[in-house]
A and B are shown apart, each in its own frame.
Chain A
Amino acid sequence: MPQETTASPIGRDTPRVDGPLKVTGTAQYASDFHFPGLLYAVPVEATIANGKIQKLDTTEAEKMPGVRAIFHRANIGKIFRSVMGKGMEGICVERRPPFEDDVVRYYGQYVALAVAETFETAKAAADAVRVTYSREKPNVETDLKADDDPKEVATTYGPEKRLQSERGEPDAAFASAPVKLDQIYVTPAETHNPIELQGATAMWDGSMLTLYEESQAIFNMRSVLAQMFGLPKENVRVITKFVGSGFGSKLWPWTHCPLAVAAARQLGKPVKLVLSRKMTFQTAGHRARTQQRVRLGATPEGKLVSLLHDYVYERSMLDDYHENCGEATAFQYSVPNLRVKFGRAKRNIGTPSDMRGPGAVTGLYATESAVNELADQLKIDPVRLRVLNEPKIDEGLGIPFSSRHYLECLELGAEKFGWSKRTPEMGSMKRDGLVLGWGMAGAAWIAARFAAEANFELRDDGTARVACGTQDIGTGTYTILAQLASLKAGVPLDRVEVALGDTSLPEGPVSGGSMATGSVVPAVFAAADNAITALLTIAATTPGSPFEKQKLDDLAFEGGRVFVKAEKSAGTVPFADLLRRANLRLVTGSGKAEATFGEKKSKFSTHSFGCHFVEVTWQPEIARLRVNRVLTVIDAGRIINPLAGRNQIEGAVVMGIGMALLEHTTYEPQNGAPINSNLADYIVAVNADVPSIDVHFLDFPDKEINELGARGIGEIGLAGIAAAITAATYHATGVRVRELPIKIEDLLTSSVLG
C-alpha cells in the first residue's frame, strides 16, 4: 500500500526548490544566455546632467577592429513611445525613448551605444566616442521645496490628487491641541543595488522579438517593448528564469532594454547589453529623496487629536514617479482630524522609482518617528501611546480592516523583547561598558492581489506541473508554487515541476508590491481544481476504469488518489494509474483570478502590520553606534513558507539598518553625478553589521485575500525599522536625528558619556 501524503506542505518550513540549481551555478540568469553571433553593447553615458549634445564624434570608435556600429539619434532607427493601458499594463517609469532628442536631463543618460564583437571592444569604443555638450548648471539641490503643481497630477500609475486624504478640521484641531509636535524628517536618495546587474539580451527572428532580461514583471515588459517597436504583443517573448534580487529596480523597463532591442534590429544579430554598477545608479531608478513635515496634536493623556503630513519628493525632469509617503498615514492611527498632502520638486536626476516598500517605508519613517517623539514629549511609553490610538476601522476610507492584529504584534513584541525592563531616561541603560538604547516603531504595508492565470497538469508518471508567467526574484516563488501544487496534487515537492518567468506561459502577476504569492494562490487552485475535474471525468468515463459508470459527483480526489466519496475504504487509485489506463500523458486545467489591487469600491481595508523592537549599543569614547538586537513581529496572514518568510523579514531588517545608518546616494552639485556610484562608496550593511534578528509571525489568515489567507511579506519588514533605530539611538545618545542616515558627525554631539 503506497503511503499517502497527509501532512500539508502549507505553513511548513520548505527549503528553496531551486536552491540546488543556484548553489551549483546551473541556474541561468538573464545575462548567462549566449547565442551564436552574439554582439556586445556598451552605452555612452552623458557626463553632464543638464544641457545639449552639440557634437557626437564617432570616427575613432568606428575605426576600432571588431566594432560593428556606434548608434546614436541619427542611426538607431525608430523607437516609439509607450502608454499605460487598462489595469496595470504598459507601465514605464522613464517614458522618453533613448536618443529621442539631443537634450541631456540627468547625468549618465545614454547618448550613444557602441556594439562590438567582444565586451572589451565595445567598452573601448564607447570610451572613444567624443561628445561635446553645451552645459547648464544642473539642479540637484537637496532642500526640496514643492514646485507649483496643479491640484491633481499625472503619475506613473495614473492621476493623483495632491490632497490625498482629509478629515475633520486638522488645522484648527492642531492649533488648539494642548500638546504639539511639528518636525521635518528627511530621507535621502537610495539606490537599490541588487547584486545581479540589469541587462538585456535581445534577438529578432523576422518580426518576432525575444528578450532575456531580469524582469520583475515580464508581461509588462512585453507590453512596453511591443509598443516601442510597433509590434503585436504576441510577437514579443520575454524570458526571466531567475532574478538576483530586484528590490523594485527591475519592475519596469529602463532605457537599456529598447537600446539592446534596437541594436539587434539594426544589425540583424543578437545583442547583449549589461549595465555597469555605475550605470544602475544613474539610469535604473532609485528611492526618491523626501522631505516630510509631520505635525501631531494630542491631549496630555496621549490621545491624538490632529495629524498633518505634508511631504515633498524629488522627481526627474520628464517623469512623474509618485513616492507615496502617505500610503499608511490615513489609517495607521485613530485621529479625528487629519490631512495628507504632497508636493513635488523637479531635479536633474534619473527618475526615481519603486524601491522596496515605496512610500510606506519613507512615510512611516517620518510618522513613526513623530509618534516616538510625541511619546517622549508626553512621557508616555511609545508602545502604550500606540495602543491608546489604535483605530477600530480604517478611518481614512471609513471601512473595516479585513484583518488587523497590530495590538497583538505590539504585545508579543514587547514581551519577547523584554520591553518592560526599559528605563526611559536617555543613556540610562548600560551593559558591558556600553550604553544601550531601546526603541520601537510600527509597520504597515498594503495587501492585495494582481490578476493571475495559471495552468496545472497531472501526469501519468505521478508528477504534477504548475505553470504561471510570474517571476521568482529570489524570494521563493518557485517554492511557493511547488507547495501549492504539492497540496492540490497530493504529491511530494520533488514530484512537482514549476514553470515561470516566460511570457509564453499563462499571464502571471508582477513580482512587486509583495503581492505575487497572494495573487497566484487562487489562480493555481482554480487551475488545479479544473485539472482534477478533468481527471475525475476520465475516471468515470474510461472503459475499464475502476470508476467506470460512477457519477462524476460521487468521485473525490485527495492525496493524489481518486475514490468513491461514500466508500473510500473500498479503495483509492493513484491518478497516474487512471491516466495510464486511459493512455493519457496528462490532464490539464487552467485557472484565473481577478485583481483586487486598485479596486474602486472595497468592502475591506487590507494591509499587513508589524512592529520592530531595536537595541543599539553606544560607545561614546569612539562615537561607535551599532545595532545589537532586532525583534520583529509581523501580522501578514497565513505564512505559506515560514523559512523563506523569515528570510524576507531578516533581509528587510538588514536593509533597514542600511537605511538608518549607512545608505545615501549623493549627487555632486557641480556635475550632477551620483558620486558614490559603486559598492565601496555606497555603503550597505555588511555581515558584521547584522545583529541577532528575531522574527515572529502571527497566524491570522486573511480570507479576504485568498483561500489560504496569505498576504505578502516582501516589503513590510523594511517599514518602520529606521524609525525604531533612530528612537533607540536617541534613547542611547540623546541625539535626535531627523535626516537619514544617522552619521557619526551627528553622534559626536552626544552628551551621553560612558
Chain B
Amino acid sequence: MLEPGDLITHVTLPPPAPGNRSLYLKLRDRTSYEFALASAAVVITAANGKIARARIALGGVGTKPWRSTEAEAELTDQPANEVTFRKAADAALRGAKPQSQNAFKVELAKRCLVHALKLATQPA
C-alpha cells in the first residue's frame, strides 16, 4: 500500500521462465501514436504443442489492464491450436459489458487475443 509521500522508484519483474514466450499485440485505427482499441499481452510456456502455463492480459477493454484468469485456465494443459485460442478468447470476453459505441471491441479483443496466442506459439 502506498502511503502519502511515497514514490515508486522501480518495479522488479522476475526473469522469464525458461521456454517462456511473450508477445504484445496492439490494434488501433492508425499505425502509430494512438491508444489501443484492443490489445493483448500474453506469456506462454509451451512444449511439444501443449501449453503448460499462460498469463493473459487485455488492454483497451477497461479502465486498466484486464488480466483474464478465465482465459489462462482455458489454455493451461491444452494443445496450442486455434480451437483452444478461441475458447480462451471467448472465456476472456464472457460477461463483457459493452457501451453504446464500443460493442465492436468484444469481437476485436477476441481476434486480438487469438492472433497474439497464435504468434506466441508459432515455431520460432
Instruction: Give the interface of A toward B (CB within 8 A).
Output: 621-624, 626, 661-662, 680, 683, 685-689, 743-745, 748
Contact = CB atoms under 8 A, between A and B. Distances in A.
A621 B30 contact: no
A744 B37 contact: yes
Given A621-B114, A622-B25, A622-B115, A689 B31 contact: yes
Contact of B115 (A621, A662, A680, A744): A621
Contact of B111 (A621, A686, A688, A743): A621
Contact of A685 (B30, B37, B103, B114): B30
A688 B31 CA distance: 6
Nearest to B104: A745
Interface string B84-124: 00000000000000000001100110011011001000000
Given A621-B115, A622-B112, A748 B104 contact: yes
B9 interface: no
A662 B29 contact: yes
A623 B37 CA distance: 12
A622 B112 CA distance: 6
B12 interface: no
B34 A683 contact: yes
Contacts of A685: 30
B31 A626 contact: yes
Contact of B30 (A689, A743, A745, A748): A689
Given A622-B25, A748-B107, A687 B32 contact: yes
Contacts of A744: 27, 29, 37, 104, 108
B120 to A, nearest CB: 14
A748 B115 contact: no
Contacts of A687: 32
B20 to A, nearest CB: 23
Contacts of B118: 621
Contact of A623 (B25, B31, B108): B108
Nearest to B82: A621
B115 A686 contact: no
B102 to A, nearest CB: 9
Nearest to A688: B31
A661 B103 CA distance: 19
Given A622-B111, A622-B112, A662 B30 contact: yes
A748 B103 CA distance: 11
B34 A688 contact: no
A670 to B, nearest CB: 13
A661 B32 contact: no
A621 B114 CA distance: 8
Contacts of A626: 31
- Please give me the 7 A-B residue pairs with the lowest Cβ-Cβ distance, nearest first: A745-B104, A688-B31, A688-B32, A689-B31, A622-B115, A686-B32, A621-B115
Centre residue among A622, A683, A688, A743 by max chain B CB count within 10 A: A622
16 contacts: A621-B111, A622-B25, A622-B111, A622-B112, A622-B115, A623-B111, A624-B27, A662-B30, A680-B33, A680-B34, A686-B30, A686-B31, A689-B31, A744-B104, A745-B103, A748-B104
Contacts of A686: 30-33
Given A621-B115, A622-B115, A683-B34, A748 B29 contact: no
A626 B115 CA distance: 18
B73 to A, nearest CB: 24
Contacts of B33: 680, 686
Nearest to A619: B115
A686 B32 CA distance: 7
Contact of B108 (A662, A680, A683, A748): A748
Nearest to A661: B29
A688 to B, nearest CB: 4
Given A744-B104, A745-B104, A748-B104, A683 B111 contact: no
Contacts of A689: 30-32
A685 B29 CA distance: 10
A747 B112 CA distance: 14
Interface string B28-66: 011111100100000000000000000000000000000
A301 B33 CA distance: 47
Contacts of B115: 621-622
Indicate the member of B34, B114, B118 with the most A CB atoms within 10 Å.
Answer: B34
Contacts of A743: 29
A626 B107 CA distance: 19
Nearest to A666: B101
A85 B31 CA distance: 47
A655 B75 CA distance: 44
A743 B29 CA distance: 8
Q: Which of B34, B104, B118 is the most central at the interface, judged by chain A CB atoms within 10 Å of its CB?
A: B104
Given A748-B107, A748-B108, A622 B30 contact: no
Nearest to B27: A622
Nearest to A685: B30
B108 to A, nearest CB: 6
Contacts of B34: 680, 683
A746 B104 CA distance: 9
A752 to B, nearest CB: 14
B84 to A, nearest CB: 16
Contact of B27 (A623, A662, A680): A623
A694 B75 CA distance: 47
Contacts of B29: 661-662, 683, 743-744
Nearest to B118: A621
A680 to B, nearest CB: 8
A667 to B, nearest CB: 14
A624 B27 CA distance: 8
Given A622-B111, A680-B33, 17 more contacts: A621-B111, A622-B112, A622-B115, A624-B27, A626-B31, A661-B30, A662-B29, A680-B34, A683-B29, A683-B34, A686-B30, A687-B32, A689-B32, A743-B29, A744-B27, A744-B108, A748-B107
A218 B112 CA distance: 52
B30 A683 contact: yes
Contacts of B30: 661-662, 683, 685-686, 688-689
Contacts of A661: 29-30
